[in-house]
A and B are shown apart, each in its own frame.
Chain A
Amino acid sequence: MKIAKVVAHVVSTQKNPKYEGLKTFMVKPLRLDGSEEGSTFVAIDRVQAGIGDTVLLLQEGSSARTVFNDALMPARSLIVGIVDHVEVKE
């Protein structure tokens, strides 16, 4: 899992039927020092996150399918937690 920042809300009406009723956000992965790393992803929100929140980003297909309990869910990026704080020694 990665730490990421929620940067925007994605609105879509014409989409895969399995995405009906799901909230999607643009997220940017962060390094431990809080700087942005790499490209932007679209992620499904499972924890009522909001724009500006630092979140826990799951990026593994079979884990995402387990969350939805659906073997044919075409999803990989999921917001699975809202980060309160991170402590790193060294």
Chain B
Amino acid sequence: MIPGKVIGRLVASSTLPAFRGVKFLIVQPVDEHKEPSGTPFVACDSVSANVGEYVFLAQGREATFPLPDRFNPADLTIIGIIDEVTEDR
């Protein structure tokens, strides 16, 4: 699973039937200091995340599990909203 920040939304009116009702968000991957690392990507949302929130995502086949239609071709899905990152014990 990877951490990221939601930086935008994507609207696609014509998608595969398996993606009906699925929200797409633009996510910038981040490191443990919430600094950007790598290029932004499009991810499916399963936890009602909003723009500006820090999240973590499932990649690969695991990304398909949280969506309503089990047989979907998702490769990145937001599975949690990060409230806090603590770096000391």
Contact = CB atoms under 8 A, between A and B. Distances in A.
Q: What band does the interface of chain B fall in when counting residues whose beta carbon is under 8 Å from A? A: 20 to 34
B59 A39 contact: no
B63 to A, nearest CB: 7
B84 A42 contact: no
Interface string B44-70: 001110000000101111110110000
Contacts, number: 99
Contacts of A51: 86-89
B81 A13 contact: yes
Counting contact residues on chain A (CB < 8 A from B), the size range is 20 to 34
A12 B29 CA distance: 17
A15 B3 contact: no
B1 A40 contact: no
Contacts of B48: 14
B81 A12 contact: yes
A26 interface: yes
A46 interface: no
Contact of B56 (A8, A42, A72): A42
Interface string B25-43: 0000111100001100000
